[in-house]
Structure 1
Amino acid sequence: MTAPNYSREFLQAMPKADLHLHLDGSLRPTGLIEMAKRSKIELPSYTVDGLYDQVFKESYQNLGEYLNGFQYTCAVLRDMENLEQAAYELAVDNQAEGVNYIEVRFAPQLLMDLARGIDFDRVMHTTNQGLKRAKDEYNNSDAVSSGDKPPFDYGIINCAMRMFGKKGFSPYYSDLFRMLSHFEPKQVIKTAAMELVRASVRLRDEEGLPIVGLDIAGQEMGYPAHEFKEVYEYAHQNFLLKTVHAGEAYGAESIFEALTQCYADRLGHGYSLFSPDMIQDDKITDREAYVRQLASFIGDRRIAIEVCITSNLQTNPAIGSVDNHNFRHMYDNRLATVICTDNRLVSRTTVTDEYALALSAVDVPLKRLKDMVAYGFKKNFFPGDYVSKRAYAKQVLEYFDKVAAQHKLV
């Protein structure tokens, strides 16, 4: 079956979800400039063109250069007025391009500064205020109130960090290293992760914040997921859903660990699943067979992969082009893939852009495209109960059919 030539207008109008969306990598460039001036944070440039030229580029030499911009975004987000604004603007920008559901992830401990009264609870409530303000405004609009468009909703995923240094990552992490000066560095890192997950469950249960999941982010190599098994066990035992950055910059064995040691409900990136050459475990002698078995295991369990094509191309220049991206193999193997942005500012992308990129590499019939859209609503960590989630997904997919008909695709 030949796939339709989907217009940009259709891709923007169809309902979408973004389940892998870093708050601190997705500020508006104009918002970053405004916030930096207000908080007296020094930037390399105070123009959008200057920031794009010096920091947030179209392409990067390596992961280190890609991550360079986060020092500026995290610095401004330690001001609670800025944090609320960033969360609000992120939701509004998604709404403007037809994204009905987002799961915003970030590392709250990167923004905490106890000396200034900025603790975990304050960071989480402030973030939620911005997102909720945008949600309420959108859902009270005539188009949603009349039933013409489905409502907007969101969840928050809290990221623990795989690694951080004694100085420079954040005031909170620096203070923790000082207080736990007789701990090994990895013990400090795991202690911070356990504190994060416990605090997340408490705020969800006691104050009703829509904290829907746990993630572990940061450098994969040297910091394997199994070292955080106890952290993920706590989440698992307290009904907090789990995603893991796995297979972004390390072999498929990292993905296997995420599934078997951390009970992952979804996989962040998962790029290396179909790259047997990236496997580094000497015990895996038949790499091709390992990849086939792991892909089948993921498919059987319907584990969704959060696919971030632009980000992968930028952090791994060896991929070359979208035609070489492993999304093609994920699609051919019928895996549940959710098209995501990762970082809207750092990667200079949108959900619409990412769909256009994916569809430029693979011919996707309308039915399969609807399935891809559906994964974003069926595999999300919805803040309500399962019955509500199913009803919301049904409403969104009925709207997909309506938009497809309007664009004469059915």
Structure 2
Amino acid sequence: MTSQTHTTGHTDREKPSAEQIRRAPKVLLHDHLDGGLRPGTVVDLARENGYEGLPETDPDKLGIWFREAADSGSLERYLETFAHTCAVMQTKDALKRVAAECAEDLAEDGVVYAEIRYAPEQHLEQGLTLEEVVEAVNDGFREGERRAKENGHRIRVGALLTAMRHAARALEIAELANRYRDAGVVGFDIAGAEAGFPPTRHLDAFEFLKRENNHFTIHAGEAFGLPSIWQALQWCGADRLGHGVRIIDDIEIADDGTVRLGRLASYVRDKRIPLELCPTSNLQTGAATSYAEHPIGLLRKLHFRATVNTDNRLMSGTSMSREFEHLVGTFGYSLDDMQWFTVNAMKSAFIPFDERLAMINDVIKPGYAELKSEWLFRQTVSTSASVGS
């Protein structure tokens, strides 16, 4: 194990306001398309497509139902929420609408780059082909980007095609992702229950992607722990870890504050493997008992490649701004910390290096510099007023 001194406590820095957090440029790497619908859209699409299984038909009440079901502690109720959203995402028009609104909502929240994942195999119930699903979602993202621009917001959205780890279509979905890699799809993912369905069941898909020099992330280290992380990295060769929050199990803190990293944790930190952390979702699934106890605080201090994400905005009743509000309130994070998380995420995106660099230098850093300048100006005016009074 490696060790170092770790001290707790917050530094005395100015916390950004909710308005500054919303305006700050943000990057999102882990967000599920079928977990981020507007409640009103779910109601509309259910009516249009004759789906009668919704537990509520009032959008406000339905939104509350989704959040309460996700918080219930019942895996069955949690999975039921996705049964409802997927049920209304079975036509080209529905998929395009959901994708467009996703891009609009993220842009309104200050997200400038997002990678949104979904499983094409879950949208075939009314006769669509896998290709038609991908093209409809891509069309929706482009439409959402266009609408966002008209409203004065800038966003770029890439798609991650997900294979369900309990199914047997991973290679087929990986090949699909590879065919559309220059047409809106930026990578591949596997998702679903970790226990009993290790990523090694899909080695053929990962070997194919590596031969094609393509990118992929793997849901790992959310519920199953360190073996899931080890397999995702050492057997499958994942570029990023979807969640990865259980890496904390390989980190020990002694009574004197000394931190000891196990060999897997050291490997993840030293190799700069991105962790797609989703604080609110992790609380819902039991990875942490509170924001204060969430491993992101320690992982930030230890300089892991930590990123902040939403996972499922509808089920968690969250957004990127709300996630940062929780972290700012809990850990006393400043705009500098927000920028650190955001640059981490942009460095870890599945688009070409020069495009990542341009986003960092031309969009992210200037955006934070402007917010910091505004804060300094207000501080100067406030100090001058105090001296003159």
For the residue of structure 1 that corresponds to 2:367, the secondary structure is helix
The corresponding residue for 2:76 is 64
Question: Secondary structure of the equivalent of 2:19?
Answer: helix
Measured after TM superposition, the shift of residue 5 of structure 1 is: 1.8
**Offset from partner CA, 1:2-33 (integer Å, 9 cap, x none):** 23222101100000011101000100001111
Q: 1:308-338: CA deviations, max 9, x gaps? A: 011111121x732111111122112211111
1:37-186 aligned within 5 A = 37-42=47-52, 43-57=54-68, 59-113=71-125, 116-139=126-149, 143=152, 151-164=154-167
Note if contact 1:304-1:379 (Cα within 8 Å) is conserved in structure 2.
yes
The 1:407/1:261 distance shift into structure 2, 3 A limit, reads same
Paired residue type of 1:31: T
- Secondary structure, counterpart of 1:245 in structure 2: strand
Q: Tell me if the contact between 2:250 and 2:262 (Cα under 8 Å) persists in the aligned partners.
A: no
Contact 2:277 2:296 in 1 (8 A): yes
Q: Is the 8 A contact 2:165 2:197 kept in 1?
A: yes
Gaps of 5+ in 1: 145-150, 165-188, 278-288
Q: What TM-score do you get using the length of structure 1 for normalisation? A: 0.83
Alignment deviations for residues 85-112 of structure 1 (CA, whole Å, 9 cap, x no partner): 0000011001111111111100001112
Q: What are the within-5 Å matches in structure 2 for residues 340-351 of structure 1?
A: 340-351=309-320
Q: What is the CA–CA distance in structure 2 between the aligned matches of 1:273 and 1:111, rounded to whole Å?
A: 33
- Contact between 1:121 and 1:203, CA under 8 Å: does it hold in 2? no
Q: Which amino acid aligns with 2:221?
A: G
Give 1:294's aligned residue. 264
Change (3 A) 1:219 1:291: farther
Does residue 24 (structure 1) correspond to residue 57 (structure 2)? The answer is: no
Distance 2:62 2:178 in 1: 37
1:222-258 deviation per Cα after TM superposition (whole angstroms, max 9, x unaligned): 1111222221111122122111100110111211111
Gaps of 5+ in 2: 1-10, 252-258, 380-389
CA contact (8 A) 2:96 2:140 kept: yes
Instruction: Letter of the 1:210 partner, please give it.
Output: G
Identity of aligned residues (%): 31
* 1:201 maps onto 2:178 in alignment: yes
The yes-or-no answer on 1:386 pairing with 2:316 is: no
The corresponding residue for 1:360 is 329
Q: Please state whether the residue corresponding to 1:239 is helix, strand or coil.
A: coil
**Contact map agreement 2:38 2:314 (CA 8 A) in 1:** yes
The residue matched to 1:56 in structure 2 has which SS? helix
1:349 maps to a residue whose letter is T
TM-score by length of 2: 0.87
Shift of 1:291: 5.4
Work out whether residues 14 and 400 of structure 1, in 8 Å CA contact, stay in contact via their aligned partners in 2: yes
Secondary structure of 2:28's partner?
strand
Whether the aligned pair in 2 keeps the contact of 1:274 and 1:291 (CA below 8 Å) is no
Within the candidate set 237, 241, 265, 2:239 is matched to: 265
Q: Is the 8 A contact 1:299 1:334 kept in 2?
A: yes
Match of 2:274 among 279, 304, 309: 304
Which residue in 2 is equivalent to 1:405? Answer: 373
1:53 and 1:358 map into 2 onto residues whose CA distance is 23
C-alpha separation between the residues in 2 aligned to 1:139 and 1:365?
28
Residue-pair matches, total:
359
Amino acid at match of 2:271: R
Aligned Cα root-mean-square deviation (Å): 2.2
Distance 2:359 2:35 in 1: 28
The answer to whether the Cα contact below 8 Å between 2:30 and 2:116 also exists between their aligned partners in 1 is yes
Determine the C-alpha separation between the residues in 2 that align with 1:296 and 1:53: 41
